Every structure is written in C-alpha cells, then in structure tokens.
Amino acid sequence: MKEIVKYAGCFVCGDKNPIGLGVKFYEKEGGAAAEFAPSVVLEGYKGLLHGGILGSLMDEVMIKAVLVKNIYCVTAELSIRYKKPVEIADTLSLFGYIDKENGRVYTTKGWAKNQRGEVVAEAEGKFFVPKPSEIDKLKKSLAV
C-alpha cells in the first residue's frame, strides 16, 4: 500500500509533531485507510477515547481520500455520528472515500471500526478546493 502525502507537523498524521498522533494513512480501494491504537493520554472519560480525537481522525481519513486523487483541499464541514464508545485498549480501523464531487466541493464519507469490527463512528465531510495561490501554499507543506 502507498502512503498518502502528509504535513510533517500535522497533529494527526505528522511524523515530526512531538505531541501528535503519528497516524499513517494509505491508499486502499480508491480511498484512504489507517489503523490507530489510542493511548491513555487521549482519554475523555476513564478508559475511553476522547470524542474530539476520534473526530480529528475522521476528518483526516476523509481529507486523505481526496488527497489520494492529488486534489488539495481544506475542510468545510464535518458531521460525525458516534455509535459506540471507544475503549483505550481498542485498535481502530479507519476508512474514508469520496462520495460526490460538485465543482470545487468534495463530499466524503468515512467510518471507524473497533477491533471486533463494530462501527464506532460514521462521518460525512465536505472539502473545498481553494484558489490556485492557496493550493500552492498547501502543496509546499506536504510530503510523504
């Protein structure tokens, strides 16, 4: 599997962010996929992953689905349905894909499953392709 471009300082995928999650995202079945094993420092309630961290993971896997197509964009909307709590001991599987394209707006969908294969979150996002001058700024920060 091919790793998807990232910004080294990104909180979710950056490999040079000392307080980041360091998640690696890969191309899979026309979309983006990753695995993530949360640690105790990411708790919301005792023993449970904080919902904001799960939201960040969902945002990232869906934008990566657009980046797979070499389309540079930014998040415009994010909607998450939390289905089950995520235990810190769980390893999550994440997947995101493009559902629709409408001009400069890409609508994506994604899900996260626990190690038992249960869906713990479903998400939908809208990602906006900015003006060319802004795209150049985004491209300069990304690398594998």
**Mean pLDDT, the chain, integer:** 96
pTM for this structure? 0.95
Calpha distance 30→8 (Å, rounded): 24
Backbone φ and ψ of 37, nearest 5°: -110, 105
| Residue 60 resides in a domain | yes
| Residue 17 resides in a domain | no
Taking 90 as the threshold, does the pLDDT of residue 141 lie above it?
Answer: no
Q: What is the extent of the structural domain holding 105?
A: 26-141
Taking 80 as the threshold, does the pLDDT of residue 144 lie above it?
Answer: no
pLDDT of residue 137: 87
- The whole-number average pLDDT for the span 128-144 is 87
* 3-state secondary structure (DSSP) of residue 38: coil
Q: Within the chain, where are the H helices?
A: 51-67, 132-141
Structure tokens at 15: 């490999």
pLDDT in tens, 72-127: 999 999 999 999 999 999 999 999 999 999 999 999 999 999 999 999 999 999 99
The CATH number of whichever domain residue 102 belongs to comes to: 3.10.129.10
Buried b / exposed e over 5-21, threshold 16 CB at 10 Å, is: bbbeebebbbeeeeeeb
| Residue 10 resides in a domain | no
